[in-house]
Chain A
Amino acid sequence: MQVDHTKNIVEVKDVSFSYGNEPVLENISFDIHQGDYLGIIGPNGAGKTTLLKIMLGLLKPDKGSINLFGVPLSEFKEWHKIGYVPQKATNFDLNFPVTVFDVAMMGRYCCLSLCCRIKKSDRAIVQKALEQVGMWEYRDRLIGDLSGGQQQRVFIARALAGNPEIIFLDEPTTNVDQKMHEEFYSLLRKLNHESGITLVLISHDIKMVTEEAMHIACIDRTLVCHSTPEEFLKETPIITPHHHNH
């Protein structure tokens, strides 16, 4: 894919959000360019997930607007361009009777019209996505029988199956074994460098994010900083990776 680093994929303009009287986000503005690898960091409860949900249209901001691929979110239709790897632990039933292949196939559904059958070509794309994350040989296993790291790979395969241009990941390493972190981040690196997929990674693992991401957005109700990892580390030397063991 031809990557144009000046092209805006996501534009966040002056977004504010509150739960009742509790302001969660205030006047957040930034852009995400094609081919970016953006790490969104901040303490727990800083509004990172809320911001992500606003960018994906799952929550409506009180103020401000979001453009996706240059189109206002309310008019955006090309959802197949967007991959989403949700914070798994919160909304996933381990006893759900679906196989790895079924889960990855769900990622294709956005490309099929309503009532349309699954075609051979869709199966081939799903196979490629599962191979990319190294989970093809597990295709007939139930999702609940896998380790946290393996499940997360399947969810990435689900996102890949839609051939997205951008993937949003919310705390993707929460349930992943510490030993597997390096492997996991190298997979993300490959997707960004080789496949040209724009990545937005929410994490409180500051150490990993500053090593991996190209840009850092630090959120604590407001946008505290938006810079490269080097600038970020220079400006905020007091931040220590104390969230590391979460």
Chain B
Amino acid sequence: MARWRWLEQVTDHEQVLRLKLLGTVPLFAGLSRRQLGKLLVKFFEREYLPGETIFLEGEPGKALFIIIAGQVSICRALNEEEELLATLTAGGYFGELALIDDQPRFASARAAEASRLLILYRSDFEDLIEGQRTLAIHVMGNLLKTLAGYVRKSQSQRNGRNSTIVEQASENPGMISKGVSRG
């Protein structure tokens, strides 16, 4: 009993909460508690006020973001307006492509309400996986699954659009020739 009380005294409960949240993030699924602990100490934390920009479309991507609390909108510029692509809540993550390539951000991220985020810088992540083969395999595998999901989603959307066009074309045969002549 005394041992547990002693453990209770030295344990960082805030870190434990963050660790539990990190364990629920799909990107880190399959990691052991020890691996999650090693990963957790690499993260920075930042609070964002509603409407604050986290990053802008076209900026160099350098970090992965995980939402501890709040809501984040992922948007893309569309002429004068913005197209909302997704709204993410606690446990969600974004900016994951910064972990694997040097390309600019595809979309902007903005705090939809007061949010607390964990930030993982790419080089810190690379340093970690350099010496941790299992961790690297798990995270990269999860990242690939996420990317495969995006590809499928995009493919099905494109197929849906194509089938709509085909349906519309079969109903209105003149449409394709007009489209061709316009192109």
Same assembly: no
User: Which B residues fall within an 8 A CB radius of A?
Assistant: none
The chain A residues found within 8 Å of chain B, CB to CB, are: none
